[in-house]
Chain A
Amino acid sequence: MTEKVKFKWNGKEIEADKGSNLLKAALDNGIEVAHYCYHAGLSVAGVCRMCMVEQDGVPRPFPACNASCGEGIVVRNDTPKIKSSIEATLSFHLLNHPLDCPVCDQAGECGLQDYYMKHGQYDSQMVDKKVHKDKVQDIGRNVMLDAERCILCSRCTRFTEEVTKTHELGILNRGDHAEITVNEKLKNNYAQNLVDICPVGALTSKDFRFKQRVWFLEEVQTTCIGCETGCSVKVSENKNGAFRVKPSYDHEVNGHWMCDDGRNIYKHVSGALRLFGAQENLNGLFVPVDEFKTHQLAKGKTLKFILSTGLTNQEYEKFFEKIKGKSAQVALYVLPNQGEDFDGLLTRGDKNPNLRGARKAFEDAGYDSSQNALDKLLSSVSSNDAIFVVVPEIIYNEDHFNTLISKVEKAGLKIALTHGETLSTLRAFDFLLPIPTFVEKNGDIINFQNKKRALRSGISYGETSKDVSYYAGWVNL
């Protein structure tokens, strides 16, 4: 237990750990302090000089990010001296800034815009020519660099030095010619975090580039389903679709970061292949059909379900409740491991988002979730069966899933429960029935630490009112 100290910031009493970062203590207590270079997940640089404070008994202002909390200190950042200091600092930051906000993707969530509206001078005192640097540089891993917009806060270089330890970025030259440079191309799997931590529009995402303005987007706080880690993420979306995934702070799981693979998990949510209702396979072409037809065809057949590991605990629970005491066979399809088991930061080889929850639900309901049970179910498939396969939302290894599809071919009625017509091999199925994706359902999943993490629903882009348990209700025909 660390010692707690009390001090005053603008007259407000704050309690914090002794010796902890002064700026962090203020930010954690809901005080707005302008800052660019400080990031809670990185080391302190103290280069932006925006978080200046005055302390009683100290003659000069100093940056709060480089100071520590002490008992009884009295700190202010609302004095005229500090205000003029921030104003002057900001005008230095903006000296060579190209002001291309209309074409900049960061506009709307830009630190320069925000603080300029708050602390700005509104009149440029610059008379000389602005220094021009290289624009629109593709530095790899879906990151675009615009050296002109950079304010040299050095967050990105510290990220590649401290978090990924790959050292791709550096600051070259001196004075107003200093600029962020990449030695080759970015090569780490966490590169798009640079886009998030960049307080201005210098580093932007190529994937999100010019797709939407950020003020049109709403953020849904949910959990990543890319692997078993279960990072806490925010999905930005509006009625036109989902557009990007950003990490949100969760100190137990992912801290401030997430991997680049996880940034792609939104793509199937609002794509052109999304399912809006039941579809029937007519010689390889899927056409909309009334779900009632499927219902009728399934009558009198033995129903067999192959569940995926991407459902929520609540969905498993409801599913097993529906088929309780009825003669349905259920097995679990587990996605194969992909890549190394653990890359040392966040990504894990086990790509099943809720394997632990699924196993527990199978156990509680008295079903076998092992590979043997799946093999047994597949080997017993006959023409009198109606087989329901829940297609996993994200499939890294398509071949592995396609072998599963090839094994169910003997069934009389083959139905895929899927969010969309994502794989060409889905043509082996007779019907496609829609289920919601991860941003369209509320529920819990259990991550690699056996901890519950929540999925939250935002806007719906397809038929989402029917989940797996709805189709399980067809068993008692």
Chain B
Amino acid sequence: MILKSDLYREHGFLKGLYLGLKLTMITMLKNIFKQERMTLNYPEEKYFYSDRFKGKHVLTVKEDGTLRCTSCMLCSTYCPAQCIHIVAADDSDKEVEKAPVSFEIEMLRCVFCGFCEEACPVDAIRLTNEYEMSGHAEQEWVADHYELAFRKSLNNGKGIVSTVDDKDRLKLRL
């Protein structure tokens, strides 16, 4: 098998062996003396993924700090893993009309496809570049809306403000 590779076919067995080992030795020596490594000393060093990475979900909030979600259920309709469970209720504000009382994502079921983000008509759900989601087996792996919207990593517990606020929405309605 190995004799069929391009290196041997081009240079013959002995020269091919020499060229191959030369590359191996150079890389080994480089690694010994120059310390050029591809791995990280996790968790002391952390890799930073771009904002397009599909990691842990976040529910955005309006400027007044309430959830942006209107519980239209489009995300849970599209979700291929069927891991989004929303309970809707009346909102006291007539302009808002409908708001979630409970928004839960089963994190172990989620396949992080990002369809929920695409389905959302009001920018209420986003996938962030948070990728550290290790935990224990006995832990409940259902993230409720307090965790999804107001966890510590999001603006120090204040939540991320959505790009579509109700004021803008009403303005859009002309």
| A contacts, CB < 8 Å to B | 98-103, 107, 126, 128-130, 135-136, 209-211, 213, 215-216
Contacts and interface: CB of A to CB of B under 8 A. Distances in A.
B98 A103 contact: yes
Nearest to B98: A103
Interface of B: 70-74, 77, 88-90, 94-98, 121-122, 173-174
6 contacts: A102-B74, A103-B97, A210-B71, A210-B98, A213-B73, A215-B77
Given A126-B174, A130-B174, A102 B72 contact: yes
Main secondary structure of the interface of A (DSSP, over half): loop
Contact of B88 (A98, A107, A210): A210
Q: Which 9 A-B pairs have the closest CB atoms?
A: A102-B72, A103-B98, A210-B88, A213-B73, A103-B97, A136-B94, A102-B70, A129-B174, A135-B94
Given A126-B174, A135-B97, A136-B97, A103 B70 contact: yes
Contacts of A215: 77
Contacts of B72: 101-103, 107, 213
Main secondary structure of the interface of B (DSSP, over half): loop
Contacts of B122: 102
B121 A102 contact: yes
A103 B98 CA distance: 6
A99 B90 CA distance: 18
Contacts of A128: 174
A99 B173 CA distance: 8
A267 B22 CA distance: 79
Contacts of A98: 173
A148 B174 CA distance: 14
B43 to A, nearest CB: 40
B155 to A, nearest CB: 25
A36 B136 CA distance: 56
Contacts of A136: 94, 97
Nearest to B93: A136
A454 to B, nearest CB: 32
A65 B122 CA distance: 39
A98 B94 CA distance: 13
B44 to A, nearest CB: 45
Contacts of A129: 174
Nearest to B96: A103
Nearest to A101: B72
A210 B73 CA distance: 10
Contacts of A101: 72
A98 B97 CA distance: 13
B74 A210 contact: no
Contacts of A102: 70, 72, 74, 98, 121-122
A100 B73 contact: no
Contacts of B71: 103, 210
Nearest to B72: A102
A126 to B, nearest CB: 7
A457 to B, nearest CB: 25
